[in-house]
Chains A and B, each alone.
Chain A
Amino acid sequence: MLRYVLRRLLTAIPTLFVIVTISFFLMRAAPGGPFNQEKGLNPVIKANLERVFHLDQPLWKQYLLYLNNLIHGDFGPSYNLPDFTVAELFADSLPISIQLGGSALVLALLLGGILGIIAALHQNKPADYAVIATATAGSTVPTFVIAPLFQLFFALTLKWFPVGGWGDGALVNKVGPVLTLMLPQLAIVARLMRGSMIESLRSHHIRTARALGLSDYSVVIRHALRGALLPIISYAGPAAAALLTGSIIVETIFSIPGVGRYFVEGALNRDYTLVMGTVVVIAVFTIVFNLIVDILYAVVDPRVRYD
């Protein structure tokens, strides 16, 4: 197993290299640059700026420079926020997105899982229909509708929570963003869990377990759930990578200083280093969580072996 993990981590290096390379040149292929703006700069000043950020060098040189810095752990300065390096921006914002996304993910898995099991056990009964209806609503109402509704009802009318802001990480400030991030995930997890649980409950080994007279609890939790978890695990891996790296919609609406907005803002501002930084972060998260998924497979399903 350890050898497998090491091998996977080693193959991640060329993957990252390819991602960085493609992103670097794609970003540069976009028209305009970091210093094009409504108040255009005089050419002398623009040339000075480009020199300071090495944008006056040939592209291949910039690429080598970027790779060299990256290997040394240096993501470079942000062009549009020159008071900060990209690493400093991430150091502030990534923990915030991880907290929010992580909480949303854990809640979605727990609650969605429970709802899915309940629905599966009561297939085609009122409880099942209730879960399915909720799940369908949860996955179809977009976050940019849920978030303002939350603000209107819970913040402005009931005054239970602030409208927005991070408030140095106070619990009340996290409720809205976490709920908004969680709902669509919860809906998906509940539906996945329902489907796979129904399938699992129909399988031969469950029939055998029941025939042996095991208790309902034992059948469902110890035997059926294990088999039903596989699709959830495959889904949770990429979902975790996406959730932990933030969401621009939720962060913008709730005024949360997370990392999600940097991806979009960076791209729109042609803040090359910031975009590259977010690409690397998202790529690393995706690679790591896919690896975790594969390891969990082996843990959950005895048929999977990596030795």
Chain B
Amino acid sequence: MVFQFKIRSWLAGCSMLAMTATGAFAEVVYNRGNSADPESLDPHKTSTTYEANILRDLFMGLMVQDAKAEVQPGAAESYTVSADGKTWTFKLREGALWSDGQPVTADDFVFSWRRLVDPATASEYAYMLAPVVNAEDITAGKMKPDQLAVKAIGPGTFEVTLKAPTPYFLEMLTHQATYPVSKASIDKLGADFVKPGNLVSNGAFVLKEFVPNDHIKLARNDKFYDAANVRIDTVNFIPTEDRSTAVKRFEAGEIDSNDDLPTEQLADLRAKFGDQIRIGPYLGTYYYAFKTDKKPWDNVKLRAAVSQAIDRDYLAEKVWQNTMIPAYSFVPPGIAGYGMRTTDYAGKSQLDREDEARKVLAELGYGPDKPLKMEIRFNTSENHKNTAVAIQEQLKPLGIDVTLVNTDTKTHYGLLEQRGDFDIARAGWIADYKDPENFLALCKTGTGNNYALYSNKDYDDLMAKAAAAATPGDRMKALSDAEAIGVARDHCVVPLLYYSYHNLVSNKLRGWEDNVMDVHPTRFLSKE
């Protein structure tokens, strides 16, 4: 009796688990594991992929990514580009509504984009609008937000003027930073507009609950233009920080998918879950950077020698259990139209590479009497440590004396950003949008994330040439040539591994299409 009563009160009190467990409601509930909670649900204050997963369901930018991460019209029904490629005119979807029933207008976009670049917003992703005329000056406080080159030509037409033709502009418009927010809602509620019950959005779902570290509940938005085709009624984003727990919760049916898994258990997990384990290339690169303005690392030959002595196959297979792919270029595969430029030793066997490295080291005077000393710095993570230890072992036979320094993430990146002293340091880059420029900009002179402090005029010129190129083909060619100089020849970064996504996806979920951006909007999914 007592037990029954407790069960009943649990059912009444507990929303999501009870619903899935009993099936008492006809609604379709998707419990979606997400490695971390969002920092913010304000599209203009976000930066991580965890937020992107949620905001993609809540909001809709001018353009959207479909189930395969291809760019499709979103809040804009169509667009036209001027002959010089600089003026873009977007025709907004007719009859599109916010979740509070108000129409989505061009004024909302003008307001939102000004808000994004406004220094008072302090958006980490303000640079997503850097191609727009005056955007950078506004963020730097040199101009006023209303000087941003965007305007509403009537309620349904939104016009943007760019500094130069920007081929990846449409890709950028799928990024959460460029999403619109409701002007009326922010005017009324201020910073509280993001709270559950307040948040007005224009995507396939609306925010119902947000309990930090527990769940974020979204419900289908009836005002969404394509609501009839949205098959999931409720999505619960469940933070799954502990990957082992996530696997157990997946096994128990408490979550239907998760965006990470304990890679060290991969063989067992494959045996247990079969094709519910989804692994494939993801647009990101795991790399090391030499401090190129410091002796002896300013020597290109030395950098190349050390790089080729690193056995990437071993790292991918043994350290990362094949959840990473050996990398010989900075720009990962998977970007249409881009000719990859790998290092010249990419095609050689590891033994040949080591022989070559030995020869160069001897030429440069390193040997048993004068060992090359190198300190690897990395941020805390079991896998980062294992990678560094493996590299230490691989370089030892060549007479390279490697020491390891492990610091927490903030200390690590704090040192790199402040241009502190180091020999070689670990870093990683995940693409914000599908374009080589997003990676290669990191090797331009003076870029914030250019931890190597690499500076080469030819490289910078080629990047400038790409930015000004008349055709997409010319542009990709210039970018490819830049990579050949900066990465393949000069090792402005030492690419080690390409990232891959590793998802757990229940057989009950339909419509999950694997793609290099690892983007899976809930509106295209269904659940049996």
- In the complex, whether A26 has a CB less than 8 A from a CB of chain B is no
Q: Which of B240, B241, B451 gathers the greatest number of chain A CB atoms within 10 Å?
A: B241
- In the complex, whether A212 has a CB less than 8 A from a CB of chain B is no
Contact residues in B for A124 (Cβ distance below 8 Å): none
CB-CB under 8 A for A269 and B410, given A38-B427, A166-B211: yes
A39-B414 in contact (CB<8A)? no
Among A48, A151, A169, the residue within 8 A (CB) of B139 is A48
B417-A40 in contact (CB<8A)? yes
Among A33, A43, A48, A252, the residue within 8 A (CB) of B241 is A252
- In the complex, whether B42 has a CB less than 8 A from a CB of chain A is yes
- In the complex, whether A253 has a CB less than 8 A from a CB of chain B is yes
- In the complex, whether A261 has a CB less than 8 A from a CB of chain B is yes
Contact residues in A for B121 (Cβ distance below 8 Å): 48
- In the complex, whether A49 has a CB less than 8 A from a CB of chain B is yes
* Residues 1-60 (chain B) with a chain A CB within 8 angstroms: 6, 9-10, 13-18, 37, 39-42, 45, 47
Contact residues in B for A172 (Cβ distance below 8 Å): 10
* Residues 14-51 (chain A) with a chain B CB within 8 angstroms: 30-45, 48-49, 51
A169-B238 in contact (CB<8A)? no
- In the complex, whether B415 has a CB less than 8 A from a CB of chain A is yes
Contact residues in B for A227 (Cβ distance below 8 Å): none
Q: Which of B18, B119, B122 gathers the greatest number of chain A CB atoms within 10 Å?
A: B122
Bound-state CA distance A152–B238 (Å) is: 20
- In the complex, whether B254 has a CB less than 8 A from a CB of chain A is yes
Distance (whole angstroms) from the CB of A146 to the closest CB of chain B: 14
Contact residues in B for A52 (Cβ distance below 8 Å): 120, 122
Among B120, B210, B254, B416, the residue within 8 A (CB) of A165 is B254
- In the complex, whether A82 has a CB less than 8 A from a CB of chain B is yes
A164-B139 in contact (CB<8A)? no
CB-CB under 8 A for A163 and B415, given A42-B448, A268-B410: no
CB-CB under 8 A for A38 and B409, given A31-B414, A171-B10, A172-B10: yes
A39-B17 in contact (CB<8A)? no
Contact residues in B for A210 (Cβ distance below 8 Å): none
Bound-state CA distance A34–B451 (Å) is: 19
CB-CB under 8 A for A164 and B245, given A42-B448, A43-B448, A45-B124: yes
Distance (whole angstroms) from the CB of A38 to the closest CB of chain B: 6
Among A38, A92, A173, the residue within 8 A (CB) of B14 is A173
A163-B417 in contact (CB<8A)? no
Bound-state CA distance A139–B430 (Å) is: 44
Contact residues in B for A152 (Cβ distance below 8 Å): 248
- In the complex, whether A195 has a CB less than 8 A from a CB of chain B is no
- In the complex, whether A87 has a CB less than 8 A from a CB of chain B is no
Q: List 18 A-B contacts (CB under 8 A).
A: A31-B407, A32-B410, A32-B413, A33-B414, A36-B410, A36-B413, A36-B414, A39-B47, A48-B139, A81-B212, A82-B40, A83-B210, A92-B211, A148-B245, A168-B13, A170-B9, A171-B9, A257-B213
Q: Which residues of B contact A (CB under 8 A)?
A: 6, 9-10, 13-18, 37, 39-42, 45, 47, 119-124, 126-127, 136, 139-141, 194-195, 210-215, 238-242, 244-245, 248-249, 251-252, 254, 379, 407-417, 427-430, 448-449, 451
